[in-house]
A and B are shown apart, each in its own frame.
Chain A
């Protein structure tokens, strides 16, 4: 049954029960009113009885008891008189009022619906965490899949396949620090870590450092090259490291050699070729013949997809659903139409947003989010994210300055 229908059915039952409980007493004949004095008399009789008990037990002095007895007796007399006077009033009570009561009863559902329709979300299902985690695969809920894998690994941290599945998922979610950690664990746990694994680890490091290639990554790429001499990805990044270190000649030679070694149908050729050409111009060398190849995606995209495909296939063979989901997403991204791709990007931005709610201490994430919002043309949301980030880093001068610079750059007022 539709959740909405189900909800209104249950809410209707609840309302009906409430109305019935309020209206049914109206069918009964009203009880007879007793005058207030009757109740008072009952209390005073109790008081008198207690007083006698106290006297019996000697808890109260004779003289004091006598005074108290007189006082109570006075009250009893007064109450008795009041009772007789009250009878005339009581006779008139108990009639009518049915219409007033029905009118007031009808107020109940009206008030309830008015408030609920304003603030409630009729039929919205619950989302218990365990259930969400259990259904993560069929809902393609990547964040939940990651969480589940994390839980499994928390109890069984030596599960190599778990780490191999988790690492690319982290990359997908943009949590690069976590991805680095996961790849590192995978290398530690592998009996014989292969070149792909080292490459993936190193590349995650590069992405975690926003494109800069740290020494750790250089060491890992070298290790990969030792294990698989000639590995194009390791060679490419090592060349880039040379370039970043200012060793242009070396970078030029390495890239040129790499280009020569690559088969003609590798998509990344074009990008590399362009870099070689640029370097040649900068170094004042004669440009070599430009290799012709199929139009390729950006090197960054292709290399990252190849980086994730290697471990993903390994985990996929073992039936890890999370790796499948990641691969599925990657494939979808590549085959998507521009509109679809836009939707996916939006989706990623949203998940980044959600992640930052959970883990707000990630300044890099906030900067990415604000920029992405601006790029998507969502200025209001960019501004809102900026505001939230400023709140999170209220005590961090440095972070707030960075946020301010970014805001100025992309032209959103804080």
Chain B
């Protein structure tokens, strides 16, 4: 009866979440340390209850227990073991359970690793976390329970199968990463709310918030990158970013989180931009909630679909309204209590970070409008659909993000408070020269448009700029080798984080520009024996065959790849039809890697003219994208390992000893 016990643990967790909301907040409001301290055991208990509940659902999936409605709807006994596990969260109810599990993990982490937090702040942060947890647990228990059973005697013997698109290693890991990112911002949110309650935001507060924000940002970056990589090799369209609303839903909190990450630095170092940073913390988590709502309510597929089955959507909308509205209200009422300090000149590190924030926020607004406008339009016109496509996003987002990328290398070199633009530019001479040189080389040697050449220059500028800043820092070529080595090894983690992440942005720009501007594309209806030349390769279609997989039937298109008359390799692209979900075939792309890029082959449908539709692309240097994303994630991890995020615990000073609590 592990299923029922899992269900019971979930409702018990709801009880504990209510407790975790009420007791510490009340304790903090009345200055009662005893009550504040109860937040920690409650957070621990809540985590274990939800973890048990999640484990119970996982066991039901592993055992193909079709007496659980959710398992029957989303699983199949013939599924490979790994997808029985990941199937737990590859559906609405299970993914919401994962959401609260991740939230409980963050709450647990705050409870355990925040000995350095003032008790009242810690109690309030945990209390706010408890309230978010309560809202989502009520949602899970009432309208979205993963533990609903099928009546005895009517239990089916086979499930309806898991969404075939999700039966893939990258996408199996995508939701946990994404949720860790989304939910991670709840910590910054809780800190912001707690700070508004206390009326105190200062550089100490920023220092407590930053590691949590960085952790969330790192997870979210990894999650988005995994999703993008998956879209590239699984969807079969040769692209890696489609400005799809689901993608935008995860990109918006990322933009807000990136801005928050930077503005929190200003609060910590300069005790400035405080209200703005608190607002960003609220916005970042609000977009996480909106992202969850967009993807989970069904509103994206159609406003109409949402209106037909509104129970869940309205519930999440209510949660959204409560937390976002409540937080903004509190912000409006309390923001003036946050005292300002520390002015700065426009040309300074602060100035650069403000510009970063302005441009990121504007870009966020552009994406937000482009994502929600079609929904609003459909709702207002009563069902008419329009799509806002890539051209809109490329124009608006591009216009806003390019200036940001151009000024990016300057930021880290500017001094705080008062910077020197001329001196800074001199420090970036080499990067500027390299960028100009690369633009010339690409324009003259490889053809392509002026825009593409400028894009390459921008990428080179970012990578070289990050490296040049690093070189200045370690005094490369300026100091004896010993000194340089010393400096490299003693460079703090957060500095490495910045260099890696900024260089990563450059690699992403390079990968994006080159793979788009110099992409080759052939879409043909092929019969066995047909040969297609593409980007120096010759693709020979050998024919097709059917091969059974564990829970699918694969139609394999077989290819031989030649280069300069010599055979390079065999390649197979598949179309898989899954048991239980026959109407959702998936594509497995054949990828032939080389240092120049990927040869990408995807088979499509039978062509009306006879033969098999085959899409072939050559994607030059596309791997720079993945390298860039990896660098950003590694940057995030190095930043998290930085010793300075482990703030020292407050020590009891002499004067404290005189102030024993009277009891």
Contacts and interface: CB of A to CB of B under 8 A. Distances in A.
Contacts of A90: 659, 661
B365 interface: no
Nearest to B49: A18
Interface residues of B, number: 95
A71 B157 contact: no
Contacts of A3: 1
Contacts of A109: 12, 15
A122 interface: yes
A24 B617 CA distance: 65
Given A83-B655, A116-B7, A101 B35 contact: yes
A120 B203 contact: no
A158 to B, nearest CB: 18
Given A107-B15, A108-B18, A127 B5 contact: no
B157 A15 contact: no
A28 to B, nearest CB: 8
A42 B27 CA distance: 24
Interface string A99-133: 01100110111111101100111111111111110
Interface in A30-82: 30-36, 38-47, 50, 57-59, 61, 63-64, 67-68, 71, 75
A157 interface: no
Interface stretch (B113-121, B314-322, B441-449, B556-564): B113-121
Given A90-B661, A101-B23, A128 B203 contact: no
A357 B659 contact: no
Contact of B15 (A58, A108, A122, A124): A108
Nearest to B46: A18
A100 B26 CA distance: 9
Interface in B284-332: none
Contact of A104 (B4, B19, B662): B19
A43 B15 contact: no
A115 B139 CA distance: 12
Contacts of B121: 36, 39
B614 interface: no
Contact of B65 (A97, A98, A129): A129
B416 A96 contact: no
A57 B473 CA distance: 9
Contacts of A35: 118, 656
A208 interface: no
Given A92-B31, A110-B15, A124-B149, A104 B23 contact: yes
A120 B147 contact: yes
B204 A120 contact: no
A14 B5 contact: yes
A68 B269 contact: yes
B153 interface: yes
Nearest to B653: A38
B63 A129 contact: yes
Interface string B173-198: 00000000000000000000000001
A147 B78 CA distance: 12
Contacts of B120: 33, 36
Given A108-B15, A119-B141, A59 B473 contact: yes
Contacts, number: 265
A358 interface: yes
B23 A47 contact: no
Interface stretch (B37-45, B353-361, B453-461): B37-45
Interface in A145-196: 147
A61 B415 contact: yes
20 contacts: A18-B12, A25-B37, A30-B34, A36-B118, A36-B121, A36-B200, A39-B121, A58-B487, A75-B271, A87-B659, A91-B661, A95-B34, A110-B15, A111-B15, A112-B11, A115-B11, A119-B147, A128-B64, A129-B66, A350-B153
Interface of B: 1-5, 7-9, 11-12, 14-16, 18-19, 22-23, 26-27, 30-35, 37-38, 41-42, 44-45, 49, 60, 63-67, 77, 116-121, 141-142, 145, 147-149, 152-158, 160, 198, 200, 202-204, 207-208, 269-271, 342, 415-417, 473, 475, 487, 490, 492, 495, 644, 647-653, 655-656, 658-663
Given A94-B661, A108-B12, 19 more contacts: A7-B5, A14-B8, A31-B119, A33-B31, A33-B661, A41-B650, A42-B647, A43-B208, A50-B644, A64-B416, A91-B659, A107-B18, A108-B19, A120-B4, A124-B149, A129-B64, A130-B64, A131-B63, A358-B158
Interface of A: 3, 6-7, 10-11, 14-15, 18, 21-22, 24-26, 29-36, 38-47, 50, 57-59, 61, 63-64, 67-68, 71, 75, 83-84, 87, 89-98, 100-101, 104-105, 107-113, 115-116, 119-132, 143-144, 147, 350, 353-355, 357-358
Listed from nearest, the 4 A-B pairs whose CB atoms lie closest are: A128-B63, A108-B15, A30-B34, A129-B64
